[in-house]
Amino acid sequence: MCVFCKIAAGEIPCTKVYEDEHVLAFLDINPVTQGHTLIIPKKHADDFTQCPSYLVARMHGIARKLAKHYDGILKPNGYHFLSNAKTAAGQSVFHVHFHLIPRYDATDGLDFAFRGTERHKLDPATQKKLHL
Ligand code: 5GP
Ligand code: ZN
């Protein structure tokens, strides 16, 4: 059983902030900002590419509710809602989870920025191929 399955089964303690039949949300043990929260399905899937869409939608719904709730308590100025899939993307626990990360300001401790460059631009033929 993976670590998040153990948390979902109550075998490893966590600081729960939400629970229903299918989804659990709890505070990250090593928070990158105050209120850093993980939202998981109780049923194991390795990452979001493997997780059924209805569960992803449900986790998104919970993230929205939690964000609204946190707004009144932690008073952040924004949020990240993201999921790392596979080692190359930084995934370290291989049970799908979404991070809900409150953001306060540029000095809140999280250095996260998209720095786009020309060298990542795809040639037109490849761009065309990407259309599903
Ligand atoms: P990833 O790197 O896979 O996107 O994120 C995994 C997250 O899970 C990390 O932020 C890490 O701190 C958190 N984490 C790992 N093990 C535990 C645990 O046992 N309890 C809690 N609450 N968080 C955990
Ligand atoms: Zn699991």
Residue 118: φ, ψ to 5°: -55, -35
Domain of residue 38: give its range: 3-130
Token pair in block for residue 5 = 């399955």
Do residues 104 and 77 touch, judged by C-beta distance below 8 A?
yes
Query: What is the atom index within ligand 1 of the atom nearest the CA of 89?
Result: 4
Q: Is 4 in the pocket of ligand 1 (CB under 6 A)?
A: no
The domain total for the chain is 1
Q: What is the pLDDT of residues 86-112, one digit of tens each?
A: 999 999 999 999 999 999 999 999 998
Catalytic machinery residues: 97
**Which pLDDT score, from 0 to 100, does residue 112 have?**
87
Do residues 62 and 18 touch, judged by C-beta distance below 8 A?
yes
CB environment 36-53: b (16+ within 10 A), e (fewer)? bbbbbbbebbebbeebee
Domain with residue 101: its CATH number is: 3.30.428.10
Q: Is 91 in the pocket of ligand 1 (CB under 6 A)?
A: yes
45 contacts: CB under 8 Å, gap ≥ 6: 51, 52, 55, 95, 96
Q: What is the pLDDT of residues 74-93, one digit of tens each?
A: 999 999 999 999 999 999 99
Which residue's alpha carbon is at the smallest distance from atom 13 of ligand 1? 28
User: From the CA of 86, how far away is ligand 2's center (Å)?
Assistant: 14
User: From the CA of 26, how far away is ligand 2's center (Å)?
Assistant: 15
Mean pLDDT, the chain, as a whole number? 97
